[in-house]
Chain A
Amino acid sequence: MTQLWVEKYRPKRVAEVVGNKQSVQQFISWMRSWETGRPQKKAALLYGPAGVGKTSLVLAYGNEHGYDVVEVNASDWRDQEHMKSIVGSSSQQLTLQGTAKRIILVDEVDGIAGREDAGGLSALRRIIDETRVPIVMVANNPWDQRLATIRDRSLLIEFKRLSKTDIISRLREICRREGLECDEQVLRALAERAEGDLRSAINDLQAIAQGKKKVTVKDLEALGSRNRVKQIFEALRIIFNAKSLRSARAALEGLEVDLDTVYTWILDNAPLQIQRLDELADAMEVLARADLYLARMSREQKWRLMRYAVPLMTGGVALSRKTKPKGFVKFSFPDKIRFMQKTREERELLQSIARKVAAQLHLSSHKAMKYMVPFLRVIASSSTRNAEALAEYLSLSPKEVEYLAGKPLEAVAKASRGRRGGRSPSRG
């Protein structure tokens, strides 16, 4: 199989890294501080959009200066022994192995923050505190709340989208080395659609140029639209404005997004786009019918039922919308997805409480949640004594008790003192 050009043309030396000159300089100085003594921060967090050279910079530096770049993933962190051998928690080990020149590369820490429980991140935090070799983390979005303690321990280095000029010149260089003749117009179009992401531009170029001597504007047609979010906004615009079932259905053709996701986007945009309540009720009903077909489809493995769900959820919604909103209402990212992200921590907390209650009280966790938790909330919020006793009995973490009580325990104490003085003097 042909090698991927993104790998083949990955920079071998720091000077070959495209763009972000200042960030590159910052990284070099930080590495120098390791080489000359103790760095101020033992970890660096390189952040910015995809495909702008974050990982490439680390690999190029390692290659050029003789470092062994070790990529670790989340599951490795929990294996303390394994990690100790990699980060070298004792200086002895380092000299014995003679591999002091090592960089630990942790890719996608933000992805891990979303996926892993807190345990993985706190393990990483400990590793940063103990490490004797540079740790470099890479993230698209470093501002996740969960990454706060990691951020404190790291030098933050921002990477920006690459300019079209930078992308074009790198593509031109690759064409030259591949012996490929390529219209300037094609390069410009590729750079345009890449939106600052060099990796995707190189991938696109390879996709249309593979096995050819010459690439023209016509070859560009083979590429689908790269931007999925932009793509889905366009599909929504067509769906909600469709005049026929056929054109609404066609909006989903070639959309590189799964049906469930499209469904959620339509579901949450309907109340924004359809402002008359009777029309909205019709739209929600066809969406509910579509959902029913999809449920039957997957339950009974009757795949052909999909063909009924799709026109209902697209054209059906369009036909329900007889009155268009005055002025342009923009399509928006589904509230559902945002809601699930926002409530993630709370949901996990409640589920953990319910599991503990269930184990102790001979219930399923659903019943524990429904029948016990509402009462336990009242009991926990009534006095610190009750809250602490519940915590002990159910082995609740401090966070879980405070969640049940609905407030910090000091506030519980204050409130129960107040009540004792007021409503029920007989208590005690």
Chain B
Amino acid sequence: MERYVDSEGAGLLSAKVVATLPWVEKYRPKSLDEIINQEEVVASLKNILKTKAVPHMLFAGPPGVGKTATAHAFARDLFGPNYIEDGHFLEINASDERGIQTIREKVKMFARQIPMGGLGFKILLLDESDQLTDDAQHAFRRVMEQYSTTCRFILAANYSNRIIEPIQSRCAFFRFKPLTKNHIIQHLKWIAGEEGLSIDDAALEVIYDFSEGDMRRAINILQASAAMSKKIDEKLVYQVMGYVSRGEVRQILEKAIAGDFKGARDDVRRLLYVQGLTGSDIISAIYRELFYLNLPEEEKLELLDLLGEVDYRISEGATEEVQLMAFLARLAAKARRGKK
């Protein structure tokens, strides 16, 4: 069996850890041949491998379809299994690195030296690059140009339209397709086999429904279920998802409807400041729940309109907490009027 090395090469992990480490990591594709459902992308990348003429690249597509994994697999196939340890490849997450200045510094440090036995350039993966503001992207474009002889960039993004034109035009563009239900279920079955689980078809269906087409989420649900029992049925998956999502947003809406504005407000603060959700995460969850609320349809329509307003205000930079409170207070008022 292959031994796993952690990303800093700090040492071998024990068998116990390998058996449990997040399966999204354990079953991450190691080479381009293991990438699922992105035949066109993989074919082009294999051509690049042959010529070793690596362009800047933009990987666009929904979450959990394999963009980051493909970038790693490509670098591994290009530079060999120690592609990270030997300094050929660096991953930076645009939404974590505060500001373009930090990114510039990191790129500078990384691109300054060319490792022995390499190809004369390194590869830098800028993940979640659509999180950069326009200004930061313009600055980044200059960084790309400045270092392009020694560093090739792979930008991964959910939304390619949020990447400015000048960057797009400097990159080879790869669009990643969403995974189909069949892909996800097949992959889950394969993992279940490797892990010696017994899982029935109904359970696989339910996991797929909860996954919303995101492989990472599907694998996480499978692993969380397996942690409870090696025999996985539909009921167990529901039970696990009950622990996972705990219906927090639904409870918040229920509190508001019951007239407990302060309770709802405190829960929103918890989600935002403790759990680290964003305002748009919460708004999306409210949107999903809104249609099922026990209110007259006209009221729901007005609330929907207000939710859209709140969503837009937040995108304009307004405070998430305050805007959500305005929505919840209105919901509480409408529910009260409905009762009278």
Contact = CB atoms under 8 A, between A and B. Distances in A.
A281 B22 contact: no
Contact of A382 (B228, B245, B333, B337): B228
B220 interface: yes
Most buried by B among A292, A358, A360, A367: A292
If over half of B's interface residues share one DSSP class (helix, strand or loop), that class is named, otherwise mixed; here it is helix
Which residue of B13, B265, B326 has the most chain A CB atoms within 10 A of its CB atom?
A: B326
A411 interface: no
B274 A281 contact: no
B227 A339 contact: no
A15 interface: no
Interface in A366-412: 366-367, 369-372, 374-379, 382-383, 385-386, 388-390, 392-393
A271 B266 CA distance: 12
A364 B270 CA distance: 20
Contacts of B337: 278
Nearest to B96: A364
Nearest to B219: A375
A277 interface: yes
B68 interface: yes
Contacts of B131: 364
B22 A376 contact: yes
A363 interface: yes
B333 A281 contact: yes
Interface in B302-327: 310, 313, 316-319, 322-323, 325-326
A171 interface: no
- Categorize the interface residue count of chain B: 35 or more
B229 interface: yes
B276 interface: yes
A307 interface: no
A366 B276 contact: yes
Bin chain A's interface residue count.
35 or more
A299 interface: yes
Contact of A350 (B24, B276, B330): B276
Contacts of A385: 16, 20
B51 interface: no
B278 A366 contact: yes
A386 B20 contact: yes
Given A284-B326, A363-B93, A427-B229, A374 B22 contact: no
Nearest to B245: A374
Given A370-B277, A371-B220, A375-B244, A285 B326 contact: yes
B2 interface: no
A340 B319 CA distance: 16
B181 interface: no
Interface in B25-73: 25, 63, 68, 72
A140 interface: no
Nearest to A423: B229
A277 B276 contact: no
A426 interface: yes
Nearest to B131: A364
A186 interface: no
A277 B227 contact: no
**Interface-centre pick from A283, A354, A382 (highest chain B CB count, 10 A):** A382
A151 B16 CA distance: 42
A371 B211 CA distance: 11
B230 A392 contact: no
Interface string A145-188: 00000000000000000000000000000000000000000000
B274 A343 contact: yes
Interface of B: 6-7, 13-14, 16-17, 19-22, 24-25, 63, 68, 72, 91, 93-96, 127-128, 131, 214, 216-217, 220-221, 223-224, 227-231, 240, 243-245, 259, 261-262, 265-266, 269-270, 273-278, 281, 310, 313, 316-319, 322-323, 325-326, 328-330, 332-333, 336-337
Given A424-B228, A426-B229, 6 more contacts: A271-B261, A292-B323, A295-B317, A347-B273, A393-B17, A424-B231
User: What 7 A-B pairs are tightest by C-beta distance, nearest first?
Assistant: A389-B20, A382-B227, A288-B326, A424-B229, A284-B329, A281-B333, A375-B220
Interface of A: 267, 271, 277-278, 280-281, 283-285, 287-288, 291-292, 295-296, 298-299, 335-336, 339-340, 343, 346-347, 350-351, 354, 358-367, 369-372, 374-379, 382-383, 385-386, 388-390, 392-393, 419, 423-424, 426-428
